[in-house]
Each structure stands twice: as C-alpha cells, then as structure tokens.
C-alpha cells in the first residue's frame, strides 16, 4: 500500500491540466513515475472511485479525480456509498464515513 | 492604516458549482448575503484583501506542508478545478508582492511563515472572490492555514497568526481587508456530504461573534472530527480573523444549512469602527 503516492498522483493531476491530458491519453506514461502497487494501479486505471475512497484517498483530492473521470456529483457520492456496502469502512485517513447518511 | 474590513464566509464549491441543484430560496438568500458582504467590503475602500483560506491540496501536499503560508506573487491563478465543475471561469487575480513582503516581514516577527511566489487558487479562494471581487480587480494576499494534512496547525497558533497579521496591517500605510473562508461543520466530498450539525455551527458562531478567545480555542481536533466532520477543521480561518480583530464583536449576517452545498452557509462581518 502506498496511499501517499496515490494521493500525490491525484494532487499533481488536479493542478496540472497538461498532466491531465497526458494521463487521459496514456495513463501508463504518468503512472510509472509513482510507487504504486498492483491493486492501486488497477483501481486507478479502472477507475474504481469507490475503491479509491475505501483505500483512504482524501475526498478533496478524490472528488476532482472523479470529475476528471466523468463522474457527475451524485454518481461520485453513490460510488462511495456502494463501495462502503461492498468493502466496509475506509481503511485509512481522515475521510472515513461516520454514518454514510448525507443528504445528497 | 490598519484593517478597514474583516469578515468570514463559506467557500464550499457547491455554492457555485451546484447552484442549479439548490432550492431557489436558498440560492437567492445566500447570494444576496454575499452581495451585501461585497458592498460592505467595497465601502471600506480597501487597497488589498488578505484572504485566509484552508486550501485543499492546490499548492501544498504532505511532501512539504507548511502550517502557514502567505502569497507574495505578482498574480495568482485559479480555479485549479474544472471551471464547468466549479461554475467559475479561470482568472488571473492581481497580487501586490511589495505589500505582501512588508506584511510577511512584520508577521514573521511573531509567527514562522512560509511564503510563496507562485500560488494556484482552489475553491477556498475562488468561491469567495466570485462574490466579493467579481471583476477580480482588488489585489489579494492569500494566506493558508493547514486544515487538511495532520498534524494540523493548532487553534491557538491560528489565533496568534491573526494577531500578528493585525500588527503587520497596523504597520503599513495601505487600507487592508481580511476575510477568512471555510467551515463550519461539514463532511465534504464524502458519502456524508450534506450532513450539517447546525447546533454546533450556531454555538461556534456565538463564540465567533463574541470574539470569545477562550471558547474559540476550546476545541480538540478529535471532538471536532466527531461532531463537525473533516470540514470542521476549517474553523482555524475564522479563528485567525478573530485574532486579527481581538476584542471586537462581530455580526453573523447569514447562516443557513444548505445540504446540496454541503455546508451551513455563513456570512459574518466584524463590527470594526469605521475607518477614516
């Protein structure tokens, strides 16, 4: 597990439009610069937004990656809720759910 | 000169990005309150706006996370978010590096600061500016407090930052406005998005409007996390404004929980004596 590097990738993607474009066209050319394990690589490339949430990715990073991957806001929230049902609560970090009963 | 204006407001991205999903009355009343804050800010005739934010990994990450950072750039760019997602077009916002440098030098006498000559703005700055300086013609000095990557900046240091910024403002001839953005209770970008602890918010705003230092600092991060969510950590920006206006009460002009905006939307203005 290298949650730090998953989040660092998303941090750099979120603030660099050129890197976003490169990532959309050729993700491997970007991903190879980060120390990621097989599960993380597969989850990012799928992309499995709900699983990234379960891994502990900070929501302030994840919501923008979800938007980059084409998720509308309600779909982003639903992806996390579905993943909670499938995998249980978040493994690390500050963005664990308290009850999963937000309003939207 | 000194502070000519001080206030706080929400910065949640949904305020602009999810406007079409909100109830018309929520939009109308909040936008009116933000517009009134703009009018009050303009009436104070500021030369620059210090905007104290709790950024969300726009510039700072856990590879080099400052407790405090102050911008010292000629200009600033934002939003980093997709403009369509946020509902705000990309802007170039003027800075004032000379004023930044003088304020930083004064503030550093009491608080260790990082400074930055490059700065990208996220919704923490862009949403307030969208309402407060819609022509993006007022130079800004961004200030960040680490509210995202633990260990977080202690609350009493946020207060001390505010006090030091105030002394710095007193020492320069420019007319300075200061706005803290963020909070209050919310669980942003999580499955709990939309949950708001309104009683907690109202209690906090009572402490804030009374400039009650002892009660403002009487929170632990553990308790805030449980009662006010990850977003509750952003009370640091409000506390810094209180530190900058120590001894002066404030008025909460607007507070309304708006779940689709994921926060209890807030507009507050410190009751500073009118500057000449």
Instruction: State the smallest CA–CA distance between residue A25 and chain B in angstroms.
Output: 18
Which site among A52, A64, A80, A88 would you substitute to test the B interface, given the most B Cβ atoms closer than 10 Å to its Cβ? A64
The predicted pLDDT at position A1 comes to 57
pLDDT tens sequence across B123-167: 999 999 999 999 999 999 999 999 999 999 999 999 999 999 999
CA distance B189 to B122: 15
Arithmetic mean of pLDDT, B98-103: 98
A45-70 mean pLDDT: 94
- In this prediction, the answer to ipTM > 0.95 reads no
Joined together, the tokens standing for residue B3 give 């502070």
Residues of B whose CB is below 8 A from A4:
62
Q: Which of B123, B56, B58, B53 is nearest to B86 (CA)?
A: B123
Chain-chain contact of B189 with A95 (C-beta, under 8 angstroms): yes
DSSP labels for A45-65? Answer: HTT-HHHHHHHT--HHHHHHH
Is the Cα torsion angle B57, B59, B65, B69 positive or negative in sign? Answer: negative
Report all structural domains of chain A as residue ranges with CATH numbers, in order of start: 3-87 (1.10.700.10)
The token duo for A59 is: 């929501």
Percent of chain B residues topping a pLDDT of 70: 99
How many Å lie between the alpha carbon of B172 and the closest alpha carbon of chain A? Answer: 34
Across residues B101-126, what is the average pLDDT? 98
pLDDT at B276: 60
Looking at CA atoms only, how far is residue A28 from chain B in angstroms? 23
Record the tokens describing residue A81, joined without a space.
């809720």
Q: How far is B195 from chain A (nearest CA, A)?
A: 5
CA distances from B203 to B1, B143, B252, B258 (A): 33, 26, 12, 18
Set out the domains of chain B in order of their start, with CATH numbers. 3-270 (3.40.830.10)
pLDDT of residue A103: 41
List C-alpha distances in Å: B152 to B70, B234, B260: 17, 10, 27
Read off the pLDDT of residues B219-235 as tens digits, 9 standing for 90 and up.
999 999 999 999 999 99
Question: What whole-number distance in Å separates Cα of residue A49 and Cα of residue B151?
Answer: 26
Indicate left, alpha or beta for B140 from its phi (over 0: left) and psi (-120 to 50: alpha).
Answer: beta
Whether A18 has its CB under 8 Å from any CB of chain B: the answer is no
User: Which A residues in the span 73-102 are in contact with B, Cβ-Cβ below 8 Å?
Assistant: 73, 77, 80-81, 84, 94-102
Indicate yes or no: CB of B189 within 8 angstroms of CB of A84.
no
Contacts of B21 in chain A (CB under 8 A): 73
Q: Which residues contact B55 (CB under 8 A, 6 or more apart)?
A: B122, B124, B125, B144, B148
């Amino acid at each position: 597990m290298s949650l730090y590097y998953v989040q660092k990738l998303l941090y750099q993607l979120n603030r660099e439009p050129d890197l976003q474009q490169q990532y959309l066209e050729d993700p491997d050319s970007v991903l190879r610069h980060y120390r990621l394990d097989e599960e993380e690589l597969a989850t990012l490339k799928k992309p499995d937004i709900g699983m990234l949430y379960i891994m502990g990715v900070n929501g302030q990073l994840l919501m923008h990656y979800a938007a980059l991957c084409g998720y509308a806001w309600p779909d982003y929230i639903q992806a996390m809720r579905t993943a909670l049902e499938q995998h249980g609560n978040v493994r690390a970090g500050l963005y664990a759910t308290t009850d999963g009963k937000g309003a939207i | 000169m000194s502070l000519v204006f001080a206030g706080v407001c929400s910065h949640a991205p949904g305020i602009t990005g999810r406007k079409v999903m909100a109830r018309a009355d929520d939009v109308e009343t909040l936008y009116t309150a933000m517009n009134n804050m703009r009018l009050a800010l303009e009436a104070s005739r500021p030369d620059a706006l210090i905007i104290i934010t709790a950024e969300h990994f726009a510039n700072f990450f856990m590879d080099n996370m400052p407790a405090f950072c102050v911008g010292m750039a000629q200009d600033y760019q934002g939003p980093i978010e997709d403009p369509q997602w946020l509902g705000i077009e990309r802007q170039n916002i003027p800075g004032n590096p000379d004023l930044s440098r003088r304020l930083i030098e004064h503030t550093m006498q009491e608080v260790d600061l990082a400074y930055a000559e490059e700065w990208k703005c996220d919704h923490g700055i862009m949403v307030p500016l969208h309402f407060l300086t819609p022509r993006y013609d007022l130079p800004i000095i961004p200030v960040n407090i680490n509210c995202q990557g633990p260990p977080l900046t202690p609350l009493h240091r946020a207060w001390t930052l505010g006090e030091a910024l105030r002394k710095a403002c007193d020492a320069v001839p420019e007319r300075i406005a200061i706005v803290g953005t963020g909070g209050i209770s919310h669980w942003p970008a999580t499955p709990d998005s939309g949950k708001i602890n309104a009683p907690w918010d109202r209690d906090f705003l009572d402490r804030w409007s009374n400039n009650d230092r002892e009660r403002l600092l009487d929170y632990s991060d553990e308790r805030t996390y449980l009662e006010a969510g990850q977003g509750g950590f952003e009370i640091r920006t409000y506390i810094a404004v209180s530190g900058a206006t120590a001894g002066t009460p404030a008025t909460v002009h607007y507070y309304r929980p708006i779940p689709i905006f994921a926060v209890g939307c807030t507009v507050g203005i410190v009751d500073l004596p009118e500057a000449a």
